Amino acid sequence: MGRGRVQLKRIENKTSQQVTFSKRRTGLLKKAHEISVLCDAQVALIMFSTKGKLFEYSSERSMEDILERYERQTHEQLTGADNESQGNWSFECVKLTAKVEVIEKNIRNFTGHDLDTLNMKELQSLEQQLDSSIKRIRIRKNQLMNQSISEMHKRTRALQEQNSKLAKDKVKTQAERPNSSCPETLGKGSSTFNLPSSPQRLVPSLNLRGSSSLRGRDRASVEETGEAQTGHTTASTKTLIPPWMLHI
């Protein structure tokens, strides 16, 4: 049977680890030298052991020459990538600027400005776009108006229902309230009297002493008339008018 593939994992035994490092280090340095000679390649190899000991190999005269070339090459790659990225951003900026100019021109055309540079076909296209925009605006306006009207109808119905409810409550309250127009019943011991339908006119007593022009007959008739009226008034006051109303 052939030898199976060995699984690579860390060697936990320190002694075995040091022995393996020494053997593999020697082989790695040998392989680096061979590839530099066979392929005429510049090779630089740097190793540190677990104890921090440095091991290196350089195909050139010194390690610094290869490291300087490495740094220069890395810087050139980074600079080239930056230049390429900057070129891409510049191209994108030019594209966006052109788009902004086109949009601004369309806005001016929609508002009715800078129309001299447009031909008949462009003007017709602009008119169609404006017509379609107006149609959409009208549709949206009608939708909002219908919504507003429906809301007003709902509010009107709600107010009518509230008014009818209040009217019913008012009628119910009036029906339950006692009738205040009826006269109150007087208790015992209350005095009742009736006023005359047409109050009698009181005739003042005539002073006949100072009048010398009256004849005896006329004076007697006047006195009889006064006595009759006074008697009638007294009788009527006794029967109809209470005494406290006669004090003048």
Residues 100 and 141 in one domain: no
Orientation angle between helical segments 63-110 and 120-176, nearest 10 degrees: 70
User: Where does a domain end: 21, 37, 59?
Assistant: 59
In terms of phi and psi (left: phi > 0; alpha: psi -120 to 50; beta: otherwise), the region of 112 is: left
**For residue 183, what pLDDT is reported?**
46
- Which residues neighbour 55 within 8 Å (Cβ) at sequence distance 6 or greater? 25, 29, 46, 47, 48, 49
Specify the DSSP class assigned to residue 67: H
186 has pLDDT over 50:
no
Tell me the average pLDDT across 187-208. 44
195 lies in some domain? no
- Rounded-to-integer distance, Cα 51 and Cα 13, Å: 15
Across all residues in the chain, what is the average pLDDT?
75
Average pLDDT of 156-177? 89
Cα–Cα–Cα angle for 10, 16, 22, rounded to 5 degrees: 95
Neighbours of 109 (CB within 10 A): 19
What are the residues whose beta carbons fall under 8 Å from the beta carbon of 206, sequence distance 6 or more?
A: 222, 226
**Rounded (5°) CA angle 18-22-27:** 145
pLDDT mean over 202-223 = 46
Partners of residue 45 on adjacent β-strands: 57
109 Cβ neighbours under 8 A, 6+ residues apart: 115, 118, 126
Q: Is the pLDDT of residue 75 over 60?
A: yes
The answer as to whether 134 is a domain residue is yes
Residue 98 sits in the same domain as residue 80: yes
Residue 146: domain span: 123-175
- The token pair at 14 is 């320190």
Place of tokens 């209040």: 166
pLDDT at 219 over 60: no
73 and 109 both lie in a single domain = yes
Phi, psi of 180 (to 5 degrees): -85, -10
Higher-pLDDT residue of 227 and 143 is 143
pLDDT value of residue 142: 94
My answer on whether 97 and 129 are in the same domain is: no
Residue 104 belongs to a domain? yes
- Of 158, 175, 192, which residue is a domain's last? 175
SS3 167: helix
Q: Evaluate whether residue 223 is within a structural domain.
A: no
- Position 97 in a domain: yes
Q: Among candidates 107, 146, 151, which has minimal Cα distance to 130?
A: 107
Per mean pLDDT, which range of 118-122, 158-162, 191-195 is the poorest?
A: 191-195
Counting the structural domains of the chain, the total is 3
The tokens of 23 are what?
Answer: 């053997």
Q: Is residue 189 part of a domain?
A: no
Bridge partners (DSSP) of residue 55 are 47
Task: Report yes or no on 154 lying in a domain.
Answer: yes
Read off the pLDDT of residues 120-132 as tens digits, 9 standing for 90 and up.
888 888 889 889 9
Domain assignment present for residue 211? The answer is no
Q: What whole-number distance in Å separates Cα of residue 186 and Cα of residue 192?
A: 9
Contacts for 112 with CB less than 8 Å, ≥ 6 apart: none
pTM of the full predicted structure?
0.32
Residue 210, classed as helix, strand or coil, is coil
In sequence order, the 6+-apart residues with CB closer than 8 A to the CB of 27 are none
Q: Are residues 55 and 17 in the same domain?
A: yes
Q: Which of 26-35, 80-89, 146-155, 229-238 has the lowest mean pLDDT?
A: 229-238
